[in-house]
Amino acid sequence: MPQTGFQALILCGPGIGLNTFTSVPAEFPKALVAVANRPMVWYVLDWCYRMGVTDITLVTPPTSKDTIAAALAQNPYLTSLPSPSADLLAPASLEYTTPTAELLRLPEVQEVIKSDFLLLPCDLVCGIPGDQFLETYFTRLGGPGGIGASSGLEYDMSRTELLSLGGERRGRRGGLSIWYNTVDREESVKGEECDFMCTTKLDSEHNLPLAKTASLQWQGVLRKLVWAMPMSELWDQVEEDKSFKIRQSLLRKHGAIKCMTRYRDSHIYFFPYWIKDFAKFNEDFESVSEDLVGTWAKLEWRKPSYRERFGARKIFSAQTRLENGNVHAHERPIEEEIDLLSLSSTHVTKHPAPESLSAPRTARLASRVHVDEEDRTLSPQDDNTQAALIEDSGPVPLVPPVLSYILPSAPDAPLVRRVDSTPLLLSVSLSLAKLTSLEEHLAAGSRSTASPFAHAAKIHATATIAPRVTISRSDTLIDSNSTIATQCVIKNSVIGASVSIGTGTRITGCVIMDGATIGDKCVLTGTVVGKKSKVGNKSSLTNCEVQDGNVVADGTEGKGEKYLVGGLEDEMEEGEGMGFDEGEEDEGSGVDEN
């Protein structure tokens, strides 16, 4: 695959919505939580490699660096990924509470960004090939700057120019964000987080026909993003104002806008290189999705003073770059480099170079004339003062738009989800378990391409299955070295590696993570059991969560419960009012209306 010109930054966050399984991030970071028996970060890494992006950096707090580094070197799924392996960056000042936009301003992150870049979450599962989004970006938004600059080789002097601005004044080199529908899908869950988005039709510069090679199943709708915020914040504003308010300037600029409340920002961002400075200059930005992208979407239709307040002049003004000596060859007039008159066959006279506009003009006046300093019209002002006046009086540069790629919502559309809550972890894992394995695909002699998420086999060759065991092979995964005792029934479930299941146990619609032990005659339904945990004999759990390393006593009956180590469930509920747990607020911010 040819070089894409992009590098990828994958943010390995705290996993607040998965706090049952990430309460000790130094030992169990979110990036390594198993989704269909693979570490969560495997899906986004594999997606980048298949797209052709090989310059990948995982950004994580220092407390989780060693654990993730060990997994990259030892986990069989992560070691099977192509070379080169991803780099691991752990800025010293990065904490789990650091906002994402502030993360981009950290010196270590600023230094690692050397080209146009992808900003991705570690919990992304995307069944649509990334090269389709790349093609959309290059045809609609691509420009001279940033192309082929991701390798960062210093001997190529033109690489600095490739990183510079290119095409922004014509609306090129903007941004691309990907959005997916959250309702009416197999993997949809109740109360899933949603975002509010307003879009309008594309400008003629970006309104190009879709590629005929792209599958109709994968084709979404491309529109210009003009307003975006979390639904939770929108509801707060509506409750405070007792109405839904919209700016008149938005309606004056775009007579027709489309508002959507059932979609969610996937946090797949194709960013141009200048976004690095945009995040750096605006120290008030906290969230990338809400502050950085949300503000960027408004820059096109708000007043010029709004653009200037957020650094448009600093980033895009040619005069500012002229003062800094940062004007590149492709932006200089050709007359400054080549004497065109000397190349003419009809002119032999060598013309003197034109007088510089910045050269001082002096006037000799008679000694009897007394000139007031304010009337010296023939003498130039100081160069810096003149540049300042030009900067103050000149128009504020326009900012290229950010486009939204709205994915199809048909039931048979490819899976695209962020796995950032326990219900989503369960639903996405069970959806992936239904995919045809490579073994079954080859046996059927199908000519179609197997899913990139398909496992080699539904039941690993090293798993031990006793006689008289009923397993629904079409929708069940069993990983290596697991032991299933006799008279067990397993349907539509995901069983991790080295799991032990006792005699007569029934498991339906569950996720059992690596190293867990399930006792005899247990009944588990819709339950997620963490790593190295134990469920006692004759227990009955429905829609429950069992924390990593926890022990559930024999004969326990629970429905919708969280079983945490040391009885932390009550403490966490008390801590919600003190900002200890933000996951509940996030999970309840979605809506199903409109």
From the list 302, 286, 266, the residue with the least C-alpha distance to 176 is 266
- Considering its fold, how many domains does the chain have in total? 2
pLDDT of residue 409 exceeding 70: yes
From the list 234, 225, 249, the residue with the least C-alpha distance to 297 is 225
pLDDT of residue 45 exceeding 90: yes
Which has the higher per-residue pLDDT, 464 or 150?
464
| Residue 503 shares a structural domain with residue 402 | no
Query: What is the predicted pLDDT for the residue at 208?
Result: 67
Average pLDDT of the residues in 470-498: 96
| Residue 497 shares a structural domain with residue 438 | yes
| Residue 435 shares a structural domain with residue 559 | yes
Helices and strands in the chain: count of H runs, count of E runs: 19, 31
pLDDT of residue 361 exceeding 70: no
pLDDT-derived band at 146, boundaries 50, 70, 90? very low
pLDDT of residue 324 exceeding 50: no
Query: What is the predicted pLDDT for the residue at 66?
Result: 94
| Residue 61 shares a structural domain with residue 185 | yes
Using CA atoms, how far apart are residues 166 and 411, in angstroms rounded to an integer?
Answer: 40
Instruction: Report strand pairing: 258-271 vs 470-471.
Output: unpaired
Please name the residues in contact with 174: beta carbons below 8 A apart, sequence gap of 6 or more.
141, 168, 272, 400, 401, 402, 403
pLDDT of residue 165 exceeding 90: no
pLDDT-derived band at 53, boundaries 50, 70, 90? very high
Which has the higher per-residue pLDDT, 200 or 565?
200
Query: What is the predicted pLDDT for the residue at 468?
Result: 94
| Residue 436 shares a structural domain with residue 402 | no
Residue with tokens 């695209």: 416
| Residue 164 shares a structural domain with residue 309 | yes
Which has the higher per-residue pLDDT, 167 or 431?
431
Phi then psi for 38, rounded to 5 degrees? -110, 145
pLDDT-derived band at 492, boundaries 50, 70, 90? very high
pLDDT of residue 567 exceeding 50: yes
Q: What confidence tens digit (pLDDT) does each residue in 438-473 have?
A: 988 888 877 678 889 999 999 999 999 999 999 999
| Residue 402 shares a structural domain with residue 455 | no
Which has the higher per-residue pLDDT, 329 or 465?
465
pLDDT-derived band at 571, boundaries 50, 70, 90? very low
Q: Give domain status of residue 363, yes or no.
A: no
pLDDT of residue 388 exceeding 70: no
Q: What is the CATH number of the domain that holds 169?
A: 3.90.550.10
- Least confident range from 91-95, 442-446, 553-557: namely 442-446
pLDDT-derived band at 170, boundaries 50, 70, 90? low
Q: Give domain status of residue 2, yes or no.
A: no
Q: Compute the 3-state secondary structure of the chain and give helix, strand, coil in percent, each to the nearest 5.
A: 30, 20, 50
Q: Give domain status of residue 569, yes or no.
A: no
- Least confident range from 97-101, 253-257, 426-430, 579-583: namely 579-583
Query: What is the predicted pLDDT for the residue at 385?
Result: 43
| Residue 277 shares a structural domain with residue 130 | yes
Residue 135 vs residues 2, 4, 8, 171, 491: alpha-carbon distances, Å: 13, 10, 16, 17, 41
pLDDT of residue 483 exceeding 60: yes
Residue type, 68: I
Please name the residues in contact with 547: beta carbons below 8 A apart, sequence gap of 6 or more.
20, 21, 23, 530, 533, 562, 563, 564, 565, 568
Q: What is the CATH number of the domain that holds 546?
A: 2.160.10.10
Q: What confidence tens digit (pLDDT) does each residue in 94-109 have?
A: 998 899 999 999 999 9
| Residue 438 shares a structural domain with residue 401 | no
Q: Give domain status of residue 289, yes or no.
A: yes
Average pLDDT of the residues in 292-318: 89
Using CA atoms, how far apart are residues 239 and 587, in angstroms rounded to an integer?
Answer: 19
Q: Give domain status of residue 156, yes or no.
A: yes
pLDDT-derived band at 65, boundaries 50, 70, 90? very high
Lookup: tokens for 113: 């960004």
Half-sphere exposure of 566 (CA within 13 A, CB side): 5
| Residue 312 shares a structural domain with residue 441 | no
| Residue 402 shares a structural domain with residue 539 | no
Query: What is the predicted pLDDT for the residue at 187?
Result: 85
Query: What is the predicted pLDDT for the residue at 572?
Result: 43
Using CA atoms, how far apart are residues 493 and 533, in angstroms rounded to an integer?
Answer: 17
Average pLDDT of the residues in 265-271: 96
Q: Give domain status of residue 111, yes or no.
A: yes
Range of the domain at 246: 7-319+397-406
Query: What is the predicted pLDDT for the residue at 156?
Result: 40
pLDDT of residue 2 exceeding 70: no
Q: Give domain status of residue 16, yes or no.
A: yes
The conformation of residue 354, written as its DSSP 8-state character, comes to P
Where helices occur in 220-287 by DSSP H, the ranges are: 231-241, 248-253, 275-281
| Residue 401 shares a structural domain with residue 428 | no
- Least confident range from 223-227, 389-393, 517-521, 547-551: namely 389-393
Q: Give domain status of residue 194, yes or no.
A: yes
